[in-house]
Amino acid sequence: MQQGKLMHSTPAGILYPPENHMETFAETPRHDQQLAQQVDHLVSKLDHYRQQSETLQKVNTLHQRLSGLLDLPTMIETTSIWLMEHVHHDLIGFYSDEHQKMHMYCSDHGPVRKKAIQVAENSLKKTPPTQHSPKDIVFQCDSCLKNNDGNYVLYRNKLPFSENEIAFIRQTCAIIDAPVQRALEFEQVFAQAHKDPLTNLPNRNVFNERIPSLIDQANRYNHPLTLASLDLDNFKAVNDSMGHLYGDQVLQQVTAVLNEQIRLSDMLVRMGGDEFILVLPDTDIHSAKCITDRLCKAVDNLNIVTPKGTLGVSIGIAQWHEGLSLSKWLEIADDTLYKAKESGKGQVFHSIGSLH
């Protein structure tokens, strides 16, 4: 018979383990449960670290794509293309009230694109929305730029953004704040060096530097792009009869009313003298006609009378198409401008005639 410490017997002669060994066996299920909980906790932490690692990889990719970019339109486009891999959306936009800058990138086409841009513009400017489907989903995120200036908007038709997607969008906006601030400051310095001192409009150098990228985007994404060539009617008579100082004041008045009629995404340039060029992204020839008709009316409403007649503006418009060189595009716009002048001034023409 073994020692009682190891075994003890009953009157029937059956051997049992000591009582402390019985307690150990009873605690085994509890021990297994605790071990399972520890394993679950460890797996959860590993999954959390894995997700963090994946997010850091995504963020690093965005940083790499934005590094070296200085122009805001390309920055917004680059962010949208990157974000599309993780959160589906139709449009991303940015607006700075202080800098009066609005840039949007939209992957849609046709009427859907037009509606998306309109809804986003209303959201960015915080204006009352126009009529649009209740299924349109807009998510707006304020930036953390200097002076709390600027906000972002994402638009997606029909499908609401999930909580995880919204969290990822907020993180993305926080990441691009610094590059966007850099771009705004660069544009401010750029504008001071490339601004017409009389009208504060961009000058010819700005047009020459920016138009290639606008053409490239229109070509790459098959989006419409229209150019308008503007020339004031009877402006020489203003200078001849009232003096150049008054002529300068007239140019400033004309610039002010033109700016009131165009969009923030458009580019109005003073090419020299009383000649201007207006670049209209995401705008076909017929929409451009509506915009430029308003310009003619706005200048006419100034009611500036000269010995040669009332000051007005004649406009020639031409839509870019694949294979059309910049020089030929400008030539077509200029030709249509002079047709407008020859046909009575103060009106809009395009390459196949007047669009009344």
Residue 2 has pLDDT above 90, yes or no: no
Q: What is the rounded end-to-end Cα distance, in angstroms, of the chain?
A: 119
For residue 354, what pLDDT is reported? 42
Mean pLDDT, residues 167-182: 90
Which is more confident, 308 or 99? 308
Q: Which residues pair with residue 140 across a beta bridge?
A: 153
Q: How confident is the model at residue 127 (pLDDT cuts 50, 70, 90)?
A: low
For residue 135, what pLDDT is reported? 56
In angstroms, how far is CA 254 from the centroid of its own chain? Answer: 28
302-323 pLDDT per residue, tens? 999 999 999 999 999 999 999 9
Mean pLDDT, residues 27-51: 74
CATH of region 68-193: 3.30.450.40
pTM: 0.59
For residue 3, what pLDDT is reported? 47
CATH architecture of residue range(s) 204-354: 2-Layer Sandwich (3.30)
Residue 247 near residue 239 (C-beta atoms within 8 A): yes
- CA geometry: angle at 224 spanning 296 and 131, to 5°? 75
For residue 265, what pLDDT is reported? 87
Q: How confident is the model at residue 69 (pLDDT cuts 50, 70, 90)?
A: confident
* Stated length of the chain: 356
Mean pLDDT, residues 69-77: 88
For residue 1, what pLDDT is reported? 44
Three-class secondary structure assignment of 316-335: EEEECCCCCCHHHHHHHHHH
Coil, strand, or helix at residue 106? Answer: strand
Which is more confident, 92 or 132? 92
Helices (H) then strands (E): counts for the chain: 9, 14
Q: How far apart are CA 330 and CA 321, in angstroms?
A: 13
How high is the mean pLDDT of the chain? 85
Name the residue ranges covered by the structural domains of the chain: 68-193, 204-354
Residue 152 has pLDDT above 60, yes or no: yes
For residue 26, what pLDDT is reported? 52
